Amino acid sequence: MIYIHGLRQLNRKSAEIECISLIRELKRKTPYPLEEPRVLDYFSEFLLSETDRKLIRQALEYLPPVVQELERIHAERDPLYEHINVERAVIMLKALPAPLEGNLSYLEQVGLWQEGAVPRIVGLLNSIPRLAGQEQALALQKMDALFKELLRCDALAFNAQGICGEEQTALASALREGFSTGFIFHVSVEETLKRLTFAQVRQRLPPESLSSFDTTIYRVEEICKGVERAYEANMRLVRWALVLYAYTKWLTS
């Protein structure tokens, strides 16, 4: 997509602009009458995979033990740690389960019908130019139902409420950066003035604390991957809906 780079950027105006180049591409790659193998090949980049859902489930599995470990650290008030940052990390992590669960449910719902829907979509799209009046209106209503499935919305816009959007990917990015720099550990004034890297600070940390931290940072990375994969899958479905809109615009013109 040229102009739509976020879930909330899809609207009627942006879709119309995107469709100009999309229709040219569709005519070239999937000429009318549409053939199922060609359309399926074109749709392949939008289809959800089990890996999408697996990464989200994995993120949900890792969240509780990470939060539990950080809450333990916070409760013990060990001066080895920067407790304000530990508390911040807990707050950020606790904001992720609900959108991840909502996203998993959404992707599972779409995944149930996506591949079996391709023959129906091809048949429906092929019928549109041959229909007129009420019959064409009924066919377009069926296309509207597909948009609702993909966009979670009655309008040509994506409903990002309750799932992983830009806010959640920003949280994931902040968590990854924070843990990669060891922000939960206290850094002395001298270490700050010397601009020591975390790799240098690590050398004075107790082995048992480092072992626990390395486990946590691995889990945080997996959590971030799940959030980012959920968002990427959402964007794929936005692109798929946009392609279907371009098809209907082309075939009704």
- Residue 48 within a domain: yes
244 contacts 143 by C-beta, under 8 angstroms: yes
Tokens 């948009």 belong to residue = 147
Judge if the upstream peptide bond of residue 207 is cis by omega within 30 degrees of 0: no
- Residue 102 within a domain: yes
- Residue 76 within a domain: yes
Q: Distance from first CA to last CA of the chain, Å, rounded?
A: 22
**What was the pLDDT predicted at 157?**
96
Please report, for residues 54, 113, 152, 201, the alpha-carbon distance to residue 73 in angstroms, rounded to integers and kept in the order given.
29, 45, 40, 19
Tens of pLDDT, residue by residue, the chain (253 residues):
788 999 999 999 999 999 999 999 999 999 999 999 999 999 999 999 999 999 999 999 999 999 999 999 999 999 999 999 999 999 999 999 999 999 999 999 999 999 789 999 999 999 999 989 899 999 999 999 999 999 999 999 999 999 999 999 999 999 999 999 999 999 999 999 999 999 999 999 999 999 999 999 999 999 999 999 999 999 999 999 999 999 999 999 8
- Residue 144 within a domain: yes
**What was the pLDDT predicted at 116?**
86
Q: Please, what's the b/e burial string for 32-69 (b: 16 or more CB within 10 A of its CB; e: otherwise)?
A: eebeeeebbebbeebbbeeebbebbebbbebbeebbeb
**What was the pLDDT predicted at 2?**
83
- Residue 23 within a domain: yes
Domain count, the chain: 1
163 contacts 103 by C-beta, under 8 angstroms: yes
Question: What pTM, to 2 d.p., does this model score?
Answer: 0.95
DSSP labels for 193-248? Answer: HTT--HHHHGGGS-HHHHHHHHHHHHHHHHHHHHHHHHHHHHHHHHHHHHHHHHHH
- Residue 103 within a domain: yes
- Residue 2 within a domain: no
- Residue 28 within a domain: yes
Please give the residue range of the domain that contains residue 21. Answer: 7-251
**What was the pLDDT predicted at 131?**
84
Residue 204 buriedness (CB in 10 A; 0-12 / 13-18 / 19+) = exposed
